[in-house]
Every structure is written in C-alpha cells, then in structure tokens.
Amino acid sequence: MRILITNDDGINAPGLVVLEKIAAELAGPAGEVWVVAPAFEQSGVAHCINYTHPTMIAELGPRRFAAEGTPADCVLAGLFHVMKDAPPDLVLSGVNRGNNSGENVLYSGTVGAAMEAALHGVKAIALSQFMSPLNARRSDPYEAAAVHAPPLLRRLLSEGIWDEADYRLFYNVNFPGLPAADVKGTRVAAQGFRRYSAFSLEPHVSPTGRQFLWIKSGEQGRPTLPGTDVTANVEGYVSVTPLRCDLTAHERLDELRIAME
Ligand code: MN
C-alpha cells in the first residue's frame, strides 16, 4: 500500500512521528509512506487552500516534503506533484494534538486534509488524540493512538464502508485521552455538539497600545449526546465517525420543496 501522510500541526510535530510509525505498519515492507506536511502549524485552518498564493515546497529527505501551505494544500501537492506518477491508495492525516470531535471537526485542518483527499476519490482517515490530564503530561501523550491505530485502521480499511459517491465517505477517528491500556474499545459515533462550549474571544492590548483579540476554545471534556464522538472519547472509547463533504441537510429537502416550490 502507498500511503500519503500529512497533518495540521506541522512537519516537526510529535504526532506526525506517531503517524509515520502507524503508516509504516499499515504499508508493510513492500509499501511506501510519503510525507507532505505543512512547514508550520496550521491548526484551525479547516479545509482552506492557498488559492491566491503559490505554495513553496521543499524536499527534506527521501519521500519527505514540507509545504508552506495548509493541510489541504499538502494533499494537493501530494496528489498532483510529489506522487503524481503513482497516486496513493490512502491518505492519513494527524495524529493531531487534541481532539477533533464535536464542532472541532469544522475547524480542523487535520480533517480538512482528509476532506481534500476524499474529494479526489482517495480513501482518507483523520486521526486525533484527545488530550486530558490522564495523558497530556505523560512521556507519551499519543500512546493510545500509537497502540490502537494500526489494528483499528486495518479493520476500517477491510470492514469499513468505502463508497464511490461523488462526495465520498471518509473517516474521523479520535483516541481518548488515556494511557493505551485504559482504552475500553471502539464506538462508531456521530459528530457531537458541545453545548455552552463554543469558541470565544479574549481581548488583549499590545505593548504599543493596539487592540488584539485572541480566539479561545471552550471546555473540551464536556460530553455530547449519547452515541456521539466526545461522549465516546470521555467514556474511554476510540470514536470512529463516517463523514461526507456534502453539507446538504437531506432530511429537510422534501419539506422545504413543499414550502418553496
Ligand atoms: Mn492541530
């Protein structure tokens, strides 16, 4: 298997080292792992692409590239430049520092990279590691992802649903903020919504008297509805969420047609 990996925490992020190991295990000795990752952190850029600026790309080593762009740019760079002669069978994005469950999905550059791959018909999985007091200060905060991702991804690739729709399915996987041995299992979960935990602002005045606004996130451990991702994660389970880029609320179309047509 030929695997393209990227992330949104940047080419030097510890989570990318974890993902390189996971991908190498999946690819096997006959496979290949290619890295095209952002030169600098791109957390929170979602599915953004550099549309009005060119993207500088540097070859750092064998099958290893840094691009001065977003995670989605990196996927485009991988598909149309670095791996253009033999495209990847799979794109993996992560392992993100922090969860991409709930509303975080909408802001996540990690998920944005997987979206871009899915739009090009390539199988894609985003991986994120929940940070909690139970793992964040340990020597290996990514242990849950490192240990549980290889068998889980193998199963997802063989038993999961991979359709050929225009807006095809891709996957969002979040590992709970626990040591690997304490992970209870896997839950297929919908994208949740953390109530009263949206992003907000904190104003600061700079030394030169300018007003700056810092975006800050809400409480991450607030559970979502049963059957959804954050709840699975805080209860100790890996969440697996099938996603699709089609944002249409299909279940309301008929009702709206009756009202509007
Ligand atoms: Mn990130």
Predicted confidence (pLDDT) per residue in 207-243, tens digit: 999 999 999 988 899 889 999 999 999 999 999 999 9
Predicted confidence (pLDDT) per residue in 136-194, tens digit: 999 999 999 999 999 999 999 999 999 999 999 999 999 999 999 999 999 999 999 99
Q: Is residue 213 part of a domain?
A: no
Q: Say how many Å lie between the CA of residue 249 and the centre of ligand 1.
A: 28
* pLDDT for the residue numbered 223: 87
Q: Is residue 91 part of a domain?
A: yes
Predicted confidence (pLDDT) per residue in 96-106, tens digit: 999 999 999 99
β 170-175/123-129 pair status: parallel
Q: Say how many Å lie between the CA of residue 42 and the centre of ligand 1.
A: 7
* pLDDT for the residue numbered 198: 84
**Domain containing residue 243:** 2-193+222-260
Helical (H) or strand (E) element with 231: helix 229-234
Q: Is residue 209 part of a domain?
A: no
Q: Are 170 and 117 in contact (CB under 8 A)?
A: yes
The domain total for the chain is 1
State yes or no: pLDDT of 78 exceeds 90. yes
Q: Say how many Å lie between the CA of residue 71 and the centre of ligand 1.
A: 10
When pLDDT is averaged across residues 42-56 and rounded to a whole number, the result is: 96
Q: Is residue 52 part of a domain?
A: yes
Q: Say how many Å lie between the CA of residue 13 and the centre of ligand 1.
A: 9
Q: Say how many Å lie between the CA of residue 197 and the centre of ligand 1.
A: 18
> Domain containing 86 — which CATH number?
3.40.1210.10
Q: Say how many Å lie between the CA of residue 88 and the centre of ligand 1.
A: 23
Q: Is residue 76 part of a domain?
A: yes
Transcribe 132-166 into DSSP letters: -TTTTTSS-TTHHHHHHHHHHHHHHHHHS-----S
* pLDDT for the residue numbered 226: 96
Predicted confidence (pLDDT) per residue in 93-150, tens digit: 999 999 999 999 999 999 999 999 999 999 999 999 999 999 999 999 999 999 999 9
Q: Is residue 239 part of a domain?
A: yes
Q: Is residue 206 part of a domain?
A: no
* pLDDT for the residue numbered 197: 83
Which band of pLDDT confidence, cut at 50, 70 and 90, is reported for residue 61?
very high
What is the SS3 assignment for 84? coil
Q: Are 111 and 126 in contact (CB under 8 A)?
A: yes
* pLDDT for the residue numbered 196: 84
Q: Say how many Å lie between the CA of residue 41 and the centre of ligand 1.
A: 7
Q: Is residue 205 part of a domain?
A: no
Q: Say how many Å lie between the CA of residue 165 and the centre of ligand 1.
A: 28
